[in-house]
């Protein structure tokens, strides 16, 4: 059956080119299938991955002997680190910190402390962004014995993938997105990070991934149709909320709508509890509020309380809820509800910490269809403010000592 996304994919090639949708719709649509391929890619390299993790101490029997982990990336690649940090922390039982490479480059000594061992995992679609290349280069040069380096990238030809002494995990070129906005590259690098967390014993994760693939495949057509419908209402603002890892989904959704509309739609992302503390003033009669609801009973109670308050105060123009399962309380808030149809089990079949690749589909669809509604070219919507790769930043040499 045809839906809003497959309708775009079935257009003649020339029309796709004119409308700027040669890449982006396909890159969003292909995601569930590519997740399986990414897991197989890492599975085929599992022996080498385990040797590396053993060498750097991640699999040490005593947790105090394991290095601290720094997850580095810029923009969406920073959100990848945030999306996998909780899984890595739990599975590896070590300290895990997410530091944007844009911050690490200028404040390296704030994060790499003397006398400690670190594993830095860098995420980069292209492996060519100025800050990412410079950060990796400086870490390798300045801390050769203190910091081990692992790279996850989608570009085998990128500068970062060629760095000596860096263990590289290169994903298939199919997920090296050609559109401006990272979509399938985001979700597949998250999948890669989740697999790394479970590399010592991947069977449980592979089962979980199978359920995520099925869930994502079901969500794509319904999310596309709803996003296409809502895009016609021309909201001037969007507010995204989520808790824990779903807060990262909210952040990435906010960025996708902002990027694909070249700033024509103002966006914000917050946690449900955090929204009341000032940022709720952003929500007005021109705002679409999008909530990624938790499968945890305590968290969703807070979330639904907030949404009911917003309905009672008549603050937002409309709402969209992505929920683990449909309930009467969820249905009473808005008609715009997408359900993942998760079974009511404890623990949930897919914990919140793993849901980023699935849930982000809604944010990606909203970005795509609002871009089209605003007569933008989704593959290259920017008028020149941003580009697919940030590669023009002037890099300054690191000082021997840095002040606060």
Question: Is 255 found in the same domain as 196?
Answer: no
How do residues 273-328 score in pLDDT, each as one tens digit? 999 999 999 999 999 999 999 999 999 999 999 999 999 999 999 999 999 999 99
Q: What integer pLDDT is reported at residue 392 of this predicted model? A: 73
Please, what is the Cα angle at 358 between 355 and 360, to 5 degrees?
100
In a domain, 176, yes or no: yes
pLDDT per residue of the chain (404 residues) written in tens, 0 to 9: 899 999 999 999 999 999 999 999 999 999 999 999 999 999 999 999 999 999 999 999 999 999 999 999 999 999 999 999 999 999 999 999 999 999 999 999 999 999 999 999 999 999 988 889 999 999 999 999 999 999 999 999 999 999 999 999 999 999 999 999 999 999 999 999 999 999 999 999 999 999 999 999 999 999 999 999 999 999 999 999 999 999 999 999 999 999 999 999 999 999 999 999 999 999 999 999 999 999 999 999 999 999 999 999 999 999 999 999 999 999 999 999 999 999 888 788 899 999 999 999 999 999 999 999 999 999 999 776 655 666 677 878 876 544 33
Please, what is the Cα angle at 74 between 84 and 97, to 5 degrees?
40
Question: Is 273 found in the same domain as 152?
Answer: no
Q: Cβ atoms within 10 A of the Cβ of 231, count?
A: 22
- The neighbouring-strand residues paired with 149 are 120
Per the structure, the count of domains in the chain is 2
In a domain, 62, yes or no: yes
Question: Is 246 found in the same domain as 185?
Answer: no
Gap between the terminal Cα atoms of the chain: 59
Question: Is 233 found in the same domain as 360?
Answer: yes
Question: Is 188 found in the same domain as 161?
Answer: yes
Q: What integer pLDDT is reported at residue 217 of this predicted model? A: 97
In a domain, 27, yes or no: no
Question: Is 105 found in the same domain as 221?
Answer: no
The answer to whether the beta carbons of residues 362 and 18 sit under 8 Å apart is no
To which residue do tokens 């982000």 refer?
360
Question: Is 236 found in the same domain as 172?
Answer: no
Q: What integer pLDDT is reported at residue 269 of this predicted model? A: 98
Question: Is 191 found in the same domain as 71?
Answer: yes
- The neighbouring-strand residues paired with 100 are 73
Residue 92 has, within 13 A of its CA and on its CB side, a CA count of 30
Q: What integer pLDDT is reported at residue 399 of this predicted model? A: 63
Domain end position, chosen among 201, 222, 237: 201
In a domain, 157, yes or no: yes
In a domain, 24, yes or no: no
Question: Is 350 found in the same domain as 301?
Answer: yes
In a domain, 395, yes or no: no
Domain that holds residue 183: 45-201
Domain end position, chosen among 168, 201, 234: 201
Domain end position, chosen among 201, 224, 244: 201
How do residues 358-394 score in pLDDT, each as one tens digit? 999 999 999 999 999 999 999 999 776 655 666 677 8
The answer to whether the beta carbons of residues 28 and 361 sit under 8 Å apart is yes
**In whole angstroms, how far apart are CA 140 and each of 217, 233, 392, 395?**
40, 50, 22, 16
Q: What integer pLDDT is reported at residue 388 of this predicted model? A: 64
Question: Is 260 found in the same domain as 156?
Answer: no
Q: What integer pLDDT is reported at residue 404 of this predicted model? A: 37
CATH code of the domain containing 65: 3.40.50.10490
In a domain, 325, yes or no: yes
Question: Is 99 found in the same domain as 238?
Answer: no
Tokens of 155: 């570009």
In a domain, 379, yes or no: no
Question: Is 193 found in the same domain as 64?
Answer: yes
């Amino acid at each position: 059956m045809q839906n809003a996304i497959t309708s775009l994919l079935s257009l003649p090639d020339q029309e796709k080119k004119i409308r700027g949708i040669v890449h982006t719709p396909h890159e969003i649509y292909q995601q569930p299938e590519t997740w399986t391929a990414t897991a197989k890619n890492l599975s085929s390299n599992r022996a080498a991955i385990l040797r590396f993790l053993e060498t750097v101490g991640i699999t040490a029997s005593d947790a105090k002997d394991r290095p601290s982990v720094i997850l580095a990336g810029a923009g969406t690649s920073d959100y990848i680190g945030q999306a996998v940090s909780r899984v890595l922390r739990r599975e590896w039982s070590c300290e895990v910190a997410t530091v944007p490479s844009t911050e690490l480059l200028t404040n390296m000594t704030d994060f790499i402390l003397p006398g400690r061992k670190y594993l830095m995992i860098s995420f980069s679609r292209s492996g060519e962004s100025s800050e990412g290349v410079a950060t990796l280069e400086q870490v390798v040069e300045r801390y050769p014995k203190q910091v081990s380096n692992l790279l996850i990238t989608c570009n085998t030809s990128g500068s970062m993938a060629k760095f000596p002494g860096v263990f590289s995990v290169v994903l298939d070129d199919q997920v090296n997105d050609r559109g401006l906005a990272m979509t399938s590259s985001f979700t597949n690098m998250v999948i890669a990070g989740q697999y790394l967390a479970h590399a010592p014993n991947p069977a449980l994760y592979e089962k979980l991934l199978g359920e995520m693939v099925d869930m994502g495949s079901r969500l794509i057509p319904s999310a596309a149709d709803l996003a296409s419908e809502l895009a016609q209402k021309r909201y001037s603002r969007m507010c995204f909320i989520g808790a824990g890892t779903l807060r990262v989904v909210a952040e990435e959704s906010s960025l996708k709508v902002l990027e694909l509309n070249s700033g024509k739609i103002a966006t914000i992302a917050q946690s449900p509890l955090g929204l009341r503390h000032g940022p709720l003033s952003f929500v007005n009669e021109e705002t679409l509020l999008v909530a990624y609801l938790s499968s945890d009973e305590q968290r969703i109670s807070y979330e639904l309380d907030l949404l009911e308050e917003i309905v009672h105060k008549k603050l937002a123009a409309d709402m969209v809820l992505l929920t683990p399962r449909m309930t009467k309380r969820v249905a009473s808030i808005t008609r715009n509800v997408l359900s993942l149809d998760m079974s009511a089990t404890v623990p949930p079949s897919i914990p919140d910490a793993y849901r980023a690749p699935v849930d982000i589909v809604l944010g990606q669809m909203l970005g795509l269809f609002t871009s089209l509604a605003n007569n933008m070219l989704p593959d290259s919507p920017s008028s020149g403010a941003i580009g697919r790769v940030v590669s023009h930043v002037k890099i300054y040499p690191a000082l021997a000592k840095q002040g606060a």
